[in-house]
Amino acid sequence: MIYLDNAATSWHKPPEVLKAMVDVLERAGGNPGRSGHQLSIEAARVMYDTREDIARFFNSGDPARVIFTSGATHALNIVLKGLLKPGDRVVASSMEHNAVMRPLRTLEERGLVLNVVPCATDGSLDVNDISRAVDLNTRLVVIVHASNVAGTILPIAEVVSIAHRAGALLLVDAAQTAGVLPIDMKAFGIDFLAFTGHKGLQGPPGIGGLVIGDHVDTSQIEPLLQGGTGSQSELEEQPEHLPDKFESGTPNIVGIAGLCAGVNWITDRGIEAIRAQEKELTSALVDGLSGIAGIKVYGTRDPEKSVAIVSFTARDRRVSDIGLRLDEDYGILTRVGLHCAPAAHRTIGTFPEGTVRLAPGVSTTAADIKKTVQAIDKVVGS
């Protein structure tokens, strides 16, 4: 089997991740913050250690501002639905995932003023277009760090500067970049960073987070969920202090332990080494596919300007047929269709059918890429 669907979920997971998840069930199986016994205390320690590791990993500052969620979608919704009110102005790019677009379209129906800035057909964003869209009435700018369709990396540093000059906050969707690209929240000036654990961070599904910058006034954000937090149980009102304000319900301690192990695995291996490997794999894919007649590769086609995602179509062949043949005949696992990002596909010109998406990861080898290109050549040419 050749697994090329790491943009959806990374696989194989590092052994350290699996071990950490089993270990926390055996050693710290209590409910963190809900009791005073040793298992509860140990589970709480795992949670806090993970907050510290993530705050250090993203250089965000206060670990209490690391909010655990079920994934990037949950994290994005906390900000979009908790911060924005009818009449607020929001700017987003046309490459956003439905985790951003669906909440924004719902809020638009309730009075939000939404400005979607068109990107180029390769998924790139002209900062001048963002600059023209952001004005002094803009409350929030939402931007995907890298497209889950084309892999194109968007200019976060420039967008931060534009947003802050106008007095707006910046929310970054790092679902495809956390664990793959270096992200320094303080250096960039990012206000909100939404990430998921089950992709580049090598953790399990069902865990992610929202990292809130130290300077952000969280009293302006209503919690998406309300309920038990294990703190201030004498109150029937939601606590205002962090992280409890945004973490109601029993936390996914198993997922948190796996996430922590994934972050530490990346730190030990070196994110620069991971990035270098993925650039080589991306380059080999783009070069190989470009030599096949009838194939069109989308995005910038430049590994320096994209993460390890390569989308393509083939003349006179349905993407679903290509994906099926690759799976059944060659054991190559891809993802076909619209990838929960219709706006992005409209931008690059592949709506409504979508593309075949190839997403190598840290377990992918050069031999895997060579076999994949050969298989695609056979499928498309047959």
- Express each pLDDT in 301-342 by its tens digit: 999 999 999 999 999 999 999 999 999 999 999 999 999 999
Catalytic residue, chosen from 18, 127, 340, 371, is 340
How is residue 33 written in tokens? 């913050």
Average pLDDT, the chain: 97
Average pLDDT over residues 27-38: 82
Integer Cα distance of 187 and 138 in angstroms = 23
Average pLDDT over residues 250-270: 97
- Please identify, in words, the CATH class of the domain defined by 2-10+271-381: alpha beta
CATH 3.40.640.10 fits 15-268, yes or no: yes
Q: What is the pLDDT of residues 76-122, one digit of tens each?
A: 999 999 999 999 999 999 999 999 999 999 999 999 999 999 999 99
Percent of the chain with pLDDT strictly greater than 90: 94
For residue 234, give the amino acid letter. E
- The H or E element that residue 255 is part of is helix 253-269
Q: Would strands 295-297 and 310-314 be described as parallel, antiparallel, or unpaired?
A: antiparallel
Q: Is position 260 annotated as part of the catalytic site?
A: no
What's the pLDDT score for residue 381? 87
Nearest to 201, CA basis, from 154, 282, 259, 288: 259
Where along the chain do the CATH 3.90.1150.10 domains lie?
2-10+271-381
Nearest to 146, CA basis, from 351, 304, 363, 365: 304
How is residue 117 written in tokens? 């800035």
Average pLDDT over residues 159-185: 98
| DSSP structural state of residue 219 | G
Where along the chain do the CATH 3.40.640.10 domains lie?
15-268
What's the pLDDT score for residue 91? 98
| The Cα angle at residue 10 between residues 251 and 28, in degrees rounded to 5 | 30
Nearest to 180, CA basis, from 160, 158, 202, 159: 202
Q: What is the pTM of this model?
A: 0.97
What's the pLDDT score for residue 35? 79
